[in-house]
Structure 1
Amino acid sequence: MPVEDLIRYFNAADTAGDSTLYVAGDRVEAWHGGLHLGSLFQPIVDLRAERVVGHQASLTVRRADGLALPADAPFASCESGTAVVHLDRLSRTLHALNFLAQQQHTGGYLQVAVHPRHLQAVSNQHGLVYEAILKRCGLGPADIVLDIDLTEIDLSGQGAQALANYRQRGYRLALREPEQALALPAVLALQPDILRIATADPAVCASAHLVGTLIEIAGINDGATFHSAQASGADLGQGHLFGPPASACRPTHKGARNPYNPLSSSGARP
């Protein structure tokens, strides 16, 4: 379905009338709560094969006068869990549409954050609505890695149930190590596909690999950090060395080739 038709469909489905998706040049933006929302994509690189295998999506926010705001500004103004869920789904729909618009030369997977308040506000069937949205875009849960910050999640109850629901629907999970980290075994017991950490650590990498979890290192901004991450056994990396967040994804294949969305260069989880 052409992007313009998808936009009309999603706008018609927004019965609350709080948001509007619209075409802005060769991209899609959204109008929500008096703010313009857009997408940026930062490449995720397989450190062993040294090629782009996915992209991390992030939100751009600007006022009507053009002033840029932090990405979490729209969420800060949400007064209810329902409002957070609506905005979070809108943001991820926006990213999916902008990712879809580039698929002639951009394959791999799309990594998108789920707001912690979303997990608290939805009692069950996590990921069901977003799966239906993705299908309208010609994507599916297998194309998506859900990026979840463990810091604000109750892993003894609803948070653990949310992760299980996402996994049952075929989404892959990237868990961000909290600042005051849980014990590594407790994190790995949640069976993340990816554990996102800030600093290369050979011991963490080895423990993760024993249970089939990949390690992603953030902040790889220079050659020294890159070689340190490789030496530690980390699998994936992000950072300005590979490219800053940008409206255009990095190419992962030529138009004549089929795109791919594995977590590793071999096409299968290690």
Structure 2
Amino acid sequence: MHHLNLHNYLSRLRHSTANSHLWLDEQGRARGRYFNASLTSAFQAIRSGEDHQVVAYEAYARSYDPGDQGLNIWKLLEYVANDDESVELDRLCRLLHTLNFYRQVQEPGLDLYLSVHSRLLAAVEGNHGMAFRRILDVLEIPHVQIILQLPLITPSQRWVLTHVAENYRRNGFRIGVNASSLEQAGDLLDRIRPDAIKLDISAANHASAQISLLQRADQAQCHIIFRRIENEARFLSLQQANDTASPYLVQGFLFDLPSATLVGQATELPTAASHTTSTIAATAAELPG
């Protein structure tokens, strides 16, 4: 860790108790308290689709569990927290993730993806991202390595998404968006001009459309991330369909599970070229309909 102000802040948190709003536990993890729940962070790697090298991490808010099996905190609290409380929880989670990521990251240049909850799109008035930018500046953490990941939207939320994205961009953040289809990804690429677009692997269902999207995204310097890759057959199918020099990123349980500890770089997986059609057929039964 090379951020002096962050180091000093974490040192102060070590003297806080578990009754505090924010503290460090005996394992050095930043933890927070909300609605009598103890919160912490889990991270899942985002990797190059070509060589599987880690290029970024996505952070998730989890209830604390000593065995690293915490529950999704948003699913636990979404129906008991009002909009104002959700905004407060979102900001607490962002701070927790930032502390837990930068206290252990060793490699320069790794990006951190932080999700913005859907309630914040309309609940926050004024300048989105300004308060978080100030925190990062105080901690001497490079905001340019943080991607604020906006939620999947309905058609009626198009203008809200555009407004929020511009606010975050004005405060120096890079923007990520979620798409439910290749078609929506293309629309978001043109309209929002994001730095990253996430697609479920189930949406990767049209080879020529995928190649077109990847080529356009490459020209626009936007990462396309295929997520929820849970088995090898899905990954091999993706590799074969994307017969293009345009880069893409991947994420999913096939590579690693979300964990409090950042994973290492190496993940050995066979490439599509090393598998025959019979291998694909043998594993195709694993694919959901």
Fold similarity call, TM over 0.5: yes
1:88-147 deviation per Cα after TM superposition (whole angstroms, max 9, x unaligned) = 010010000001110235750111101111121112211111111222333132110111
The structure with the greater share of residues assigned to strand is: 1
Deviates more, 1:198-207 or 1:51-60: 198-207
Say if 2:247 is the partner of 1:248.
no
Deviates more, 1:212-221 or 1:187-196: 212-221
- Match 1:39 to one of 38, 41, 49: 41
Distance (Å, rounded) in 2 between the aligned partners of 1:57 and 1:174: 13
1:27-66 deviation per Cα after TM superposition (whole angstroms, max 9, x unaligned) = 1111111101010000110122431011010011259xx9
- Match 1:121 to one of 100, 120, 123: 123
* CA RMSD between the two structures: 3.1
- Match 1:211 to one of 220, 228, 242: 220
SS of the counterpart of 2:150? strand
SS of the counterpart of 2:42? strand
The structure with the greater share of residues assigned to helix is: 2
Distance 1:57 1:4, change over 3 A: same
The Cα of 1:250 is off from its aligned counterpart by 2.1
Give 2:234's aligned residue: 225
Distance (Å, rounded) in 1 between the aligned partners of 2:8 and 2:156: 39
Give 1:108's aligned residue: 110
Distance 1:122 1:238, change over 3 A: same
The Cα of 1:236 is off from its aligned counterpart by 0.6
Give 1:174's aligned residue: 176
Distance 1:185 1:43, change over 3 A: closer
Give 1:76's aligned residue: 79
Deviates more, 1:242-251 or 1:218-227: 218-227
- Match 1:163 to one of 145, 159, 165: 165
Distance 1:185 1:240, change over 3 A: closer
The Cα of 1:151 is off from its aligned counterpart by 2.1
Say if 2:187 is the partner of 1:186.
yes
Distance 1:153 1:205, change over 3 A: same
Deviates more, 1:128-137 or 1:92-101: 128-137
Distance (Å, rounded) in 2 between the aligned partners of 1:92 and 1:34: 18
Instruction: Give the partner amino acid of 1:23.
Output: L
Say if 2:146 is the partner of 1:137.
no
CA contact (8 A) 1:149 1:178 kept: no
SS of the counterpart of 1:151? coil
TM-score (norm 2): 0.73
Distance 1:84 1:45, change over 3 A: same
Give 2:272's aligned residue: none
SS of the counterpart of 1:36? strand
Structure whose alpha-carbon radius of gyration is higher? 2
Distance (Å, rounded) in 1 between the aligned partners of 2:167 and 2:237: 35
CA contact (8 A) 2:46 2:54 kept: yes
- Match 2:56 to one of 47, 54, 57: 54
Instruction: Give the partner amino acid of 1:249.
Output: L
Distance (Å, rounded) in 2 between the aligned partners of 1:69 and 1:238: 20
TM-score (norm 1): 0.78
Distance 1:193 1:105, change over 3 A: closer
Instruction: Give the partner amino acid of 1:245.
Output: P
The Cα of 1:168 is off from its aligned counterpart by 2.0
Instruction: Give the partner amino acid of 1:86.
Output: E
Distance (Å, rounded) in 1 between the aligned partners of 2:192 and 2:20: 35
Show structure 2 runs of 5+ residues with no match: 205-209, 267-289
The Cα of 1:175 is off from its aligned counterpart by 0.8
Distance (Å, rounded) in 2 between the aligned partners of 1:106 and 1:56: 16
- Match 1:5 to one of 5, 9, 12: 9
Show structure 1 runs of 5+ residues with no match: 13-17, 254-270
Distance 1:61 1:76, change over 3 A: farther
The Cα of 1:176 is off from its aligned counterpart by 0.8
Give 2:22's aligned residue: 21
